[in-house]
Structure 1
């Protein structure tokens, strides 16, 4: 356990384990993916995972184009509402294979929205890569094609994930212990 900003954080997945999983995922993507791949990172939480995954994909022999989409389903509350596009992709998606990259798959509503949006614009296929999967929180019928870790039912921080915009900088994934 470490202390950051006066909070005790229990490390769930350390830097080494994360790096190994990202390399494994990149190899799986390289074995299945086609040319003309467009990687779309769902902001904000996925930015660290997406950066490391895209570099690992390069090492695995892929050369994806990279885009970003920012979605919101919470507003001021904690219960999910209607999903809104805050920042859209700029690239054409028609007839392309899309790799949606997100930090964590919980309810599935946001990722399902993004997948359906890109398919409605003519994407040939949309695959999903997530670092963490919280299957016990699923509210919609969706599964990721590539998963780093099954995540225990804790609120997690680090490696791009935050609480109140804090802890994104941590090089590991942990949970705040009260």
Structure 2
């Protein structure tokens, strides 16, 4: 897998350092709110787990699975709800945990869905934000890193289901996905 990486963008140490900083912010923000933390499957699971271990708050955790990529390297723009939440969001403070905000389609879909269901507030924490990829106006409230418009893998991010287990975020060599 490592041979397929053009270069490492953020090392394991850099990721850990930034997550410590984000966790302090989130702990201060949510200390008295008992939020529902929603992890967007599957990419955000590693980030979510590492973050909630760092946060000193009372919170519940749930998962939602949505897709707009369908195994490719770019968003189709059509978001599909694959697995819904088990929790009722009505009158709850919601914190969406995302691995990356790229086109914005998925995030806009989720925010609108949660607001329609009566959430008291909806905020977003993303490890990575790719503003150059944005097609829909949407903004994360907490951002780990702003990233270049490259195809990234590692630490939850995948290409066709692979590379999620890399302990860092790297740029995938174009030769890997251009052959498909």
TM over 0.5: same fold? yes
Q: 1:50 matched to which residue of 2?
A: 48
- Cα pair 2:12 2:168 within 8 Å, conserved: yes
> 1:75 deviation in Å?
3.7
Q: TM-score, normalised by structure 1?
A: 0.91
1:12 equivalent in structure 2: 9
Q: Is the 8 A contact 2:71 2:161 kept in 1?
A: no
Inter-partner Cα distance in structure 1 for 2:33 and 2:142: 18
Partner of 1:113: 109
Deviations 1:142-166 (A, max 9, x none): 1100000011111000001111211
- Which of 26, 35, 60 is equivalent to 1:65? 60
Provide Cα deviations, 1:58-93, integer angstroms capped at 9, x if missing partner: xxx212100000001234664423211110010111
TM-score by length of 2: 0.90
- RMSD across aligned C-alpha pairs, in angstroms? 1.5
Instruction: Please point out which of 124, 133, 138 is paired with 2:120.
Output: 124
Mapped to 2, the partners of 1:14 and 1:156 lie a distance apart of 13
- Shift in Å, 1:5: 6.3
Is 1:101 matched with 2:97? yes
Q: State the aligned residue count.
A: 172
CA shift digits 1:13-34 (9 cap, x unpaired): 0011101111111111112224
Give the counterpart of 2:82 among 63, 81, 86: 86
2:21 corresponding residue in structure 1: 24
Which ranges in structure 2 are unaligned for 5 or more consecutive residues?
176-180
Provide the residue aligned with 2:178 in structure 1: none
**Cα gap change, 1:26/1:79 in structure 2, threshold over 3 Å: closer, same or farther?**
closer
